[in-house]
Amino acid sequence: MPATETLRAQEGQRNNQRKDTSAKPPPEIIFQKYFKSSGTRTYAAQVKRTSGGDHYLVLTEGKRDPKTDELRKSHLFVFSEDFPAFFHLLHDMARFIKANPVPEEVRQRRASYLARQSAGGGKGDPAPLDRSGRQK
């Protein structure tokens, strides 16, 4: 066997010996809340603890694909060193949303769409809206 192949084989053996074959336990969930939206989405928030004792936040959006019935999830991880800036950002967003609510026309259209959905009048999300709240 050539020297380079021997060295690669030896490195591979050392790497295999270093790997810990025992599975790490999943992070502990120390607090969680969720809600089902009026549409097809579910939102969840979990505070988890790492094996080192640090905390992190996991925000999850779950949405069922109406064609395949497959659940698709999107996750956002926020680590403890980013908590102050992240919560400041959320606070600013909440203040903006309260000061600039969705126009009544858009709210009525959304309510009408959701009523049709619950009556079995269609599937999926409504047509996207432009900046003025009209369907594209």
Question: In this predicted model, what pLDDT tens digit does every residue of 14-30 receive, in sequence order?
Answer: 555 555 557 888 999 99
CATH 3.10.450.700 location in the chain: 25-101
Q: Which residues pair with 74 in a beta bridge?
A: 61
Which residue type does 28 have?
A: E
55, two tokens: 């905390």
Reference 124, options 68, 58, 81, 83; nearest CA is 68
Return the H-helix or E-strand segment holding 93. Answer: helix 83-99
Structure token pair of residue 123: 């599937």
Q: What is the pLDDT of residues 68-115, one digit of tens each?
A: 889 999 999 999 999 999 999 999 999 999 999 999 999 999 888 888
Which 8-state DSSP code applies to residue 23?
A: P
What is the CATH architecture assignment of 25-101?
Roll (3.10)
| Two tokens, residue 101 | 């609510």
